[in-house]
Structure 1
Amino acid sequence: MSAEADFCLDGFEPADTDSAEAEQSVWAGDLTVLAEHHTPSGSHSYLLAHDTSATWGVPGEPQLIAIKISRAPGDRTFTFECAPHTVLAFAQSWLIERDCPPDLITQVTTGIAPADDITVQTERKIRDAAGRYEVLHSDTAPDYPYETWTMARDRRAVQDPVRVFLEVDGPGTETYTLREGAFADEEAAMDWLFYRHSPLPESPEYHAEAAARSRAALTRSTGPTVPSQPEAARSAAPSTSTAVQTTVSRPL
């Protein structure tokens, strides 16, 4: 983890107004880098950082920021893109969609770890989304119990397309959980977030995904079925019966 971000833009000028405004919207001194990747040629940089200024700014503002910088050494210009996020996996997904190598930007040390396999799988689902989610709203709770959430529209969902991804720190532990809830629309999602009158409703795909994970785990633990030696020998031995022989297929 780096103490401060370095955009490596000395001698470069913004290529357009959007890049100039984006670069001016963040200050390197406010950022603590969680993960970064720079291409060997120096043409591109990807940064994932914690924005310390968000902790004393507007309550609930995202505390993570994803940055992509593209440089044109020939004319000494750069383009600058950035996006704030509340949930780490969404920031990683944003960078991966912009050609950052996934293995490099997911090597993040934040001091807390996923509490369970559901959290790991949900984070992987977000990172591999490839434009699947349109982020609508987000929030970060400044006080205990610490939680963040991102509301997004699932472009692939047939049912309940508005999803809430809720991340909660485990009390007294250095772990966190991430869960996905499904809602018919933004109003229903906001109503749940405000009142918490029921458990977070599971997505329609949850049980299918859980079943797939169980099948995969069972396959890994049991492996292929192999007949015992006597049975294999009997299958391989020629039949001595005078009756009409019938070939019976047997799984190996």
Structure 2
Amino acid sequence: MSDVLDFRLDDLAPSDADSEYAEQEFWAGDVTVLAEHHTTPHGSHSYVVAHDGSVTWGAPGEPQVAAIKVTRDLSLHTFTFELSYHATVSFAQNWLIERGCPPGRIAQYGGALMQPADDLTLQVDLQIRESGTRYKLLDSQTSDFDPCEAWTLARDSSASQTPIRVFLEEGNFSTHTYTMREGAFADVDTARSWLEDRDGPIPEPPEYSAHVGTVVRSEVALARSADVAAVPKCDLEAHCTPPAGPIQRPAQGRPL
């Protein structure tokens, strides 16, 4: 399953060795575009979230969601290619937003991909997507088969009591939905122990409350309405941009 994605780099040269390496590494994969935004005029910047299916054939557990930022200097005929891999779409979106992508242009719902199962999933996705540099990523794991899930281990700079957070995304093929949950732990060892044993429900962060949940859910509803609005076409060729969330893939790859 692959989308044609043209960054229009044929007449441009990489600006540095890192850009050359990142471009070659990305195009070696089996790419499915999940969301994208191209700036105008003249398409000077591109922001893309994509699934790299080739990762499923590598080391087990590696992150499969690619976040790509391309910057073109048409006066010098060069481009800069930045690439970062993440376990879930929301963290990939966060990476792009921190590098200048408008949040509403890279966050979309609808289409053929799995949909958020509930308001809490929307809440946690939004929290991650627009968290800035709040979370320091420590580790991640992606499961291709049973269970079908991806988790990210992070340190929350805004939390004092339980600063270690686990963000757990689980897909459900029967309902074509996914859930995202946040767990709070005192230290990394405790978080890893829970991930290994799953001896009870994921412990909710202490800052969760009915009041906060109501307020944030209202914000999520507004954000969701904005995300499904039509995105104007730009100078670059338009592509189908399914929403964030899992997508059913063949047996060799996890659903994204």
Amino acid across the alignment from 2:84: A
Amino acid across the alignment from 1:32: T
Counterpart position of 1:119: 121
Whole-angstrom CA distance in 2 between matches of 1:32 and 1:152: 26
Q: How much does 1:212 deviate?
A: 2.6
Counterpart position of 1:77: 78
Counterpart position of 2:160: 158
- RMSD between aligned alpha carbons? 2.0
Residue 7 of structure 1 contacts residue 28 of structure 1 at CA under 8 Å; is this kept in 2? no
Whole-angstrom CA distance in 1 between matches of 2:136 and 2:215: 31
Structure 2: runs of 5 or more not aligned: 219-256
Q: Using a 3 Å threshold, how does the CA distance of structure 1 residues 173 and 9 change in structure 2: closer, same or farther?
A: same
User: Whose radius of gyration is greater, 1 or 2?
Assistant: 1
Tell whether 2:67 aligns with 1:63: no
Residue 2 of structure 1 contacts residue 34 of structure 1 at CA under 8 Å; is this kept in 2? no
Whole-angstrom CA distance in 2 between matches of 1:197 and 1:60: 21
Whole-angstrom CA distance in 1 between matches of 2:150 and 2:203: 17
Alignment of 1:1-252 (within 5 A): 3-27=3-27, 30-40=30-40, 41-107=42-108, 109=111, 111-170=113-172, 172-207=174-209, 210-214=210-214
Residue 4 of structure 1 contacts residue 30 of structure 1 at CA under 8 Å; is this kept in 2? no
TM-score (norm 1): 0.80
Amino acid across the alignment from 1:103: G
Q: How much does 1:90 deviate?
A: 0.6
What is the DSSP-based 3-state SS (H/G/I as helix, E as strand, rest coil) of the residue aligned with 1:156?
A: coil
What is the DSSP-based 3-state SS (H/G/I as helix, E as strand, rest coil) of the residue aligned with 1:25?
A: helix
What is the DSSP-based 3-state SS (H/G/I as helix, E as strand, rest coil) of the residue aligned with 1:206?
A: coil
Q: How much does 1:124 deviate?
A: 0.6
What is the DSSP-based 3-state SS (H/G/I as helix, E as strand, rest coil) of the residue aligned with 1:26?
A: helix
Residue 138 of structure 1 contacts residue 151 of structure 1 at CA under 8 Å; is this kept in 2? yes
> Percentage identity across aligned positions?
53
Residue 93 of structure 1 contacts residue 128 of structure 1 at CA under 8 Å; is this kept in 2? yes
Residue 71 of structure 1 contacts residue 78 of structure 1 at CA under 8 Å; is this kept in 2? yes
Whole-angstrom CA distance in 1 between matches of 2:7 and 2:206: 42
Residue 71 of structure 2 contacts residue 79 of structure 2 at CA under 8 Å; is this kept in 1? yes
Whole-angstrom CA distance in 2 between matches of 1:88 and 1:158: 27
TM-score (norm 2): 0.79
Q: Which one scores higher on RCO, CA 8 angstroms, separation ≥ 6?
A: 2
Amino acid across the alignment from 2:168: L
